[in-house]
Amino acid sequence: MLGQTVGVAYEQLVRLAPGTPLRARGTDPVVRACRYFRPGPGVVEAAASIAAGDQVRAMAFRLEQGADLRWRCAAVEIGGDRAGAAGGAEGAVDADPAAES
């Protein structure tokens, strides 16, 4: 994951992982809705509603495109527990952000 993150995002994911916040016992998480916002070139901020059993949680993350044109996670938040920062055009996610470049 280290090569797929920038800034504090790796540490944020390390803190979140042990609690497996998107899993309910015996149930796989399912993305119910996903939205995105492009605050500027090379930046995508996205939010998803994720269901696992009777539990529904929110997940937000920020992707930044590097000079090498690869997209990397820069911040993550899950279920209101702040694990990073979130911050264009808004719309439903229809395509890979990399395909728009």
Tens of pLDDT along 36-95? 999 999 999 999 998 888 888 888 989 999 999 989 889 888 874 444 434 333 443 333
How many C-beta atoms lie closer than 10 Å to residue 75's C-beta? 22
> Where do the DSSP E strands lie in 41-95?
43-52, 55-65, 71-78, 89-92
Tens of pLDDT along 22-48? 666 677 888 899 999 999 999 999 999
Structure tokens at 49: 């509603």
Tens of pLDDT along 4-15? 667 777 777 777
Q: Taking the model in full, what pTM does it have?
A: 0.62
The answer to whether 22 and 59 are in contact (CB under 8 A) is: yes
Amino acid at 5: T
